[in-house]
Amino acid sequence: MDEIDLRDIEQANPIIAVAIELGVKVRGNMGKCFKSERHSGADQAMTLFFNPSRNSFFCKSCQDVGGSVVDLVSQYRSIDREEAIAWLAHRSEFDILTRQRYGGKGRKKI
């Protein structure tokens, strides 16, 4: 995949929206780690931290949980990086098509 295309895909997929869509419990810029069973004492605290400006995340308890929005999809769904990129590309393409088809319908014209 071309580096420019990957950047476009990452920018079209805000990390918090993707996390919510995947099923991560999110409150503000924090979330419950999807690998919390590995935490000491099955920690139920919010240990995932999202950085929307960098479109990245990390878990303060898991050293191997973190990275970009592509890494989030890859780690959450246990799929390789190429499959995660394809999933995000499909998601953003669907979003664009939906906005084109339904955006602005039902709004009053001023």
User: Which domain CATH number covers 31?
Assistant: 3.90.580.10
In a domain, 23, yes or no: yes
In a domain, 108, yes or no: no
What pLDDT score does 105 carry?
Answer: 59
- State how many domains the chain has: 1
Average pLDDT, integer, range 32-55? 86
In a domain, 79, yes or no: yes
Whether 70 shows a pLDDT value over 80: the answer reads: yes
In a domain, 74, yes or no: yes
What pLDDT score does 45 carry?
Answer: 81
In a domain, 110, yes or no: no
Residues facing 37 on adjacent strands: none
Parent domain of 34 = 3-102
In a domain, 67, yes or no: yes
In a domain, 107, yes or no: no
Instruction: Give CA separation, 72 vs 13, 20, 33, 106, in Å.
Output: 11, 11, 11, 35
What pLDDT score does 100 carry?
Answer: 63
Average pLDDT, integer, range 69-78? 97
In a domain, 59, yes or no: yes
